[in-house]
Structure formats: C-alpha cells, structure tokens
Amino acid sequence: DAMVIQNPRYQVTQFGKPVTLSCSQTLNHNVMYWYQQKSSQAPKLLFHYYDKDFNNEADTPDNFQSRRPNTSFCFLDIRSPGLGDAAMYLCATSRGGSAYEQYFGPGTRLTVT
Amino acid sequence: AQRVTQPEKLLSVFKGAPVELKCNYSYSGSPELFWYVQYSRQRLQLLLRHISRESIKGFTADLNKGETSFHLKKPFAQEEDSAMYYCALLNQAGTALIFGKGTTLSVSS
C-alpha cells in the first residue's frame, strides 16, 4: 500500500549524462514536491507543483527541471549532472493548503561518476 | 530570513532518560513549526505540529516565541525512539517546509 513511490531507488549516471527520476502517488494529492538532500544536510526544496502550476525555488539551478504529466506522476530531470548533484532526492506530496503535512517517498540515491 | 537550526547532530541517551532535541528558528511573524521523524529504513513522516499541542508517542514540543525555540521533549526515552528527527518551519507563503539539518537520536539500553 505504498503511497508515494520513487523509482529507481538507486541511480548511477555519468557526469553530464541526462538522468530522470520518477515519483508517483496514490493519494490523489494536489501538490508534489522535489527535495535534494546531501549527506548531513537538511532536505532542500527544489520545486513543487500545485496541480499543474510549477513553482521553482529561487536558488534551484537551471540544470534541474520537472514535469508533471498528470496528478499521479512527477519527474525530476537533471540535464547535465555534475559531481555536486550526487545526493538523495526525495519526492513528497500534500493536499493543497496543507503543506505542513507532507507524505514522503523513500527517495532515490543518485550517484554521479 | 526564514531558517531552522538544530544544533546537535547526534544525541545519545540511555533508555528511560529524558530527551530534549533542540530546534531554533528565525521567522518574521507567527511561525508554524513541526517535527518530522525518520526511523531506520522508513520514510520521513510528520510526528507533531505545534498548533495541535498534542503528545505523540510521548513526545511534546512547545513553541517559545521569546527564545524562538521549538524543542522536542520526552520524559523517558525508549529504544524505539531511535531515529533521525527534523524540525521544520512552514514558509511565509504557506506553500513549503524549511527543514533543519536533523538530529540523530540514539537510545541504548
């Protein structure tokens, strides 16, 4: 009965090779978030979708893009991964207006070689 | 600036000892604060919110505006409390959470 699913759980990519991480949800929540979490650091919000409206954080690099083709799915695209992009990427969802209560996926650990 | 600070990376206590996980924040206005927890091999999940003033799994947290703190407390730690704890602040727009770096709580017998 997984509610927020992330695939793959582990992803290895080469420096500069585009990579896509996926997230799906069975909660029918309006809002989907993508976070980047580096070792011993706080989860850092990259962007979020409220329904189809995309909201980018001011300091999110252009290298990071996202797509939300429907309510259930959201993708994180890293156009040209650098070594500094190696991290855990967390997807989360919430009901609209309830950003405080987020439901997280298990994360995808990205390694850049 | 909106910021959450958790000064301790690791807190180790013995079973039955009191626990206090520290959280300080920076925010203009009335903050909404939360504690999230991540048990080993589990997902990050909401533990409690300050506005509800409830006790979850024996944990409580009181918002102290004078000290800009929202410390998480439990009078008697249990081994199953061992986890990573994150303090989080709802941003001014109410659209996203700002997390602290987290504190690992280790409870041993």
pLDDT digits (tens, 9 = 90+) for A55-98: 999 999 999 999 999 999 999 999 999 999 999 999 999 998 88
Tell me the nearest-neighbour CA distance from A4 into chain B, angstroms.
10
Residue B36 pLDDT grade (very low, low, confident, very high; cuts 50, 70, 90) = very high
β-bridge partners, B2: none
Is the pLDDT at B55 greater than 90, yes or no? no
Which of B32, B44, B102 lies nearest to residue A104, judging by beta carbons?
Answer: B44
What is the arithmetic mean of pLDDT over A98-103?
92
Q: Are B101 and A40 in contact (CB under 8 A)?
A: yes
A101 at the B interface (CB within 8 A)? yes
- At A1 the pLDDT is 64
Per-chain mean pLDDT for chain A:
95
User: A45 at the B interface (CB within 8 A)?
Assistant: yes
Q: How confident is the model over B41-60, as a mean pLDDT? A: 89
A105 to B43: CB separation less than 8 angstroms, yes or no: yes
Mean pLDDT value of segment B50-68:
89
Whether the per-residue pLDDT at A2 is higher than 80: the answer is no
Quote the CA–CA distance of A48 and B4 in Å, as a whole number. Answer: 20
